[in-house]
Structure 1
Amino acid sequence: MMANGFSVENCRAVITGASSGLGAEFARQLAPQAELLVLVARRGEALESVKTELSANKARILCCVADLATDGGRAAVCSFLSANGVNPNLLINNAGLGDYGSFASSSADKTRTQIELNVTALTMLTHALLPRMEAPAGIVNVSSLASTLPMPDLAVYAASKAYVTSFSEALSIELAPKRITVSCVCPGPTPTNFSKSAKRADGTDTNREGQGLLRIPPEQVVHEALSALQHGRPCVFPGFGVSIAGRLFRMVPRRMLRWLLKRRAAKE
């Protein structure tokens, strides 16, 4: 581990969106070495299932049921930590939501929830927990390869993840003198429940052409995210294909990206 990284050994971690997908995988990989895990999500039964699965590990596990897309839900997390005497030194902002389909035809409620969960919850929970975090400490924010692109039919999600990446890289500079390491992970297509929740009731989906080349399992995403944290890397694109794509998308002129995406959309 590099000197400016954060070791997860004996950490006290808060993991959002921990009932399934990447959140549950973060819990699985941290449980053998952490002191305490606080699992946060809306679905209490699913959280308890993850807790039961991990009960044989070293970490003590607490479940906090909260809807992070609301002010009340975010306040409930802080109250839960206070009530249980938890001062975390690791925050994993994983909770997120997508929406497949055009912006014009999107549900206003789902669009608002996306912004509240992907942007507001991540920002305000980080702001609320920073004073509680005892250095050395770490923060992992889950962004997306989509953050590098203006994505038609995934516009709000991609834009919200662009915020997450930019916010994370800025925080990594701000908080380094305080011995708080911030890492952002930008996975490509990953087999989780994300696609199921992002589809609309009418079955509207997104163009998945070429995604197979970039698909990696949740285990690899989490492993590379935690490795980035421990080595003090501000941003990681997990997997060979995603790492190449991330570099290319950041280098290609935006005018060319828009042209390519326009052609792709015209094929649908």
Structure 2
Amino acid sequence: MDGGTALVTGASAGIGAALAREFASHGHDVVPVARRTERLESLAADLESQGVTATPIAMDLDRDGAAADLYETVAARDLDVDILVNNVGVGTYGPFRESDLDAERTQLQLNVVLPVELTRLFLDDLSDGGAVLNVGSVAGFQPGPQMAGYYASKAYVNSFTEALAEELRETPVAVTLLCPGPVDTEFQARAGMADSSVGALSSNTPEAVAEAAYEGLMGGETVVVPSTSMRVVDLLGRLAPRSVVRRVAHWVNGDR
């Protein structure tokens, strides 16, 4: 999969911006998508300084019909997308019974509905050897008290992506699931997790995550967990009794 254009959602910051830069560093043209226009334009200028073409699309993806609108915008601009990167996502934090229902809907829209719809819309266009990179999470391999909706949304992404990878195993389309653990981004602050213990013991940089994701995608890996400590956490979570997993997750997601 040499060259080609990568469309990256949620590209204005964090893992999304790092992924956009990673693809550009390997000679891929990039279509960064996010709602913050100034950040997108700044990122696009940075990407083009690396000798690639960057076509920013400023769009709020938190609404019904957003996936179709994005697909139509890409088509209207005659952009040929070879790699779809479903990165955008948000998280809610705190006891579910106290959660804001609109925030829960937004989480489902961005974390689940949007990547499923975009993958379906772009899949036929990728049939000649394209790829899909979905950003799931190590959180999706276990239940997450205090972040019940977020963990559940990532469980959907993880399962969906692995299943799709198997369905397309004998085709030219590559499908990779990226499962980072805690990463040094705006995510925790936006989710209201400033006092949480998440990331206190182990965290990663967006750049390291993006590098591992790119290498895994190009190497044909189905699941990429870009951290030794998170691979250990995943293994322990699979071996330990579920009651223990739930209680440990509750402790980790609780206040310091």
State TM-score, norm by structure 2: 0.93
- Name the residue aligned to 2:196: 207
Show the counterpart of 1:170: 163
Q: 2-side partners of 1:267 and 1:44: how far apart?
A: 34
Deviation at 1:31, TM superposition (A): 0.9
**Which residue in 1 is equivalent to 2:221?**
233
CA distance in 1: counterparts of 2:210 and 2:51, whole angstroms: 19
Verify the 8 A CA contact 1:141 1:185 in the aligned structure 2: yes
Provide the residue aligned with 2:92 in structure 1. 99
What does residue range 238-249 of structure 1 map to in structure 2 within 5 Å?
Answer: 238-249=226-237
Deviation at 1:11, TM superposition (A): 1.9
State how far apart, in whole Å, the 2-side matches of 1:188 and 1:263 are: 16
2:140 to 130, 143, 147: 147
**SS of residue paired to 2:93:** coil
Identity %: 35
Residue 19 of structure 1 aligns to which amino acid in structure 2?
A: S
Partner of 1:3: none
RMSD (CA atoms): 1.9
1:153–1:206 contact (8 Å) kept in structure 2 = no
3-state SS in 2 of match to 1:54: helix
How far residue 53 of structure 1 moved from its aligned partner, in angstroms, is 1.7
Separation in structure 2 between the aligned mates of residue 109 and residue 24 of structure 1, nearest angstrom: 26
Q: CA separation in 2, counterparts of 1:194 and 1:75?
A: 26
TM-score, normalising length from structure 1?
0.89
Measured after TM superposition, the shift of residue 265 of structure 1 is 7.4
Task: List gaps (5 residues or longer) in structure 2.
Answer: none
Partner of 1:20: 13
Is the 8 Å Cα contact of residues 145 and 246 (structure 1) preserved in structure 2?
Answer: yes
Equivalent of residue 39 in structure 1, options 16, 25, 32: 32
Q: Is the 8 A contact 2:8 2:30 kept in 1?
A: yes
Q: Deviations over 1:65-86 (max 9, x none)?
A: 1222223322221111111112
- The structural deviation recorded for 1:33 is 2.6
- The answer on whether the counterparts of 1:15 and 1:94 sit within 8 Å (CA) in structure 2 is yes
C-alpha spacing 1:59/1:250, structure 2 compared with 1 (3 Å): farther
Give me the whole-angstrom Cα distance separating, in 1, the residues matched to 2:92 and 2:251: 21
Deviations 1:13-66 (Å, cap 9, x if unpaired)?
110000111110011111133342111111111111111122211321101112
- Tell whether the 8 Å contact from 2:142 to 2:151 is kept in structure 1 after alignment: yes
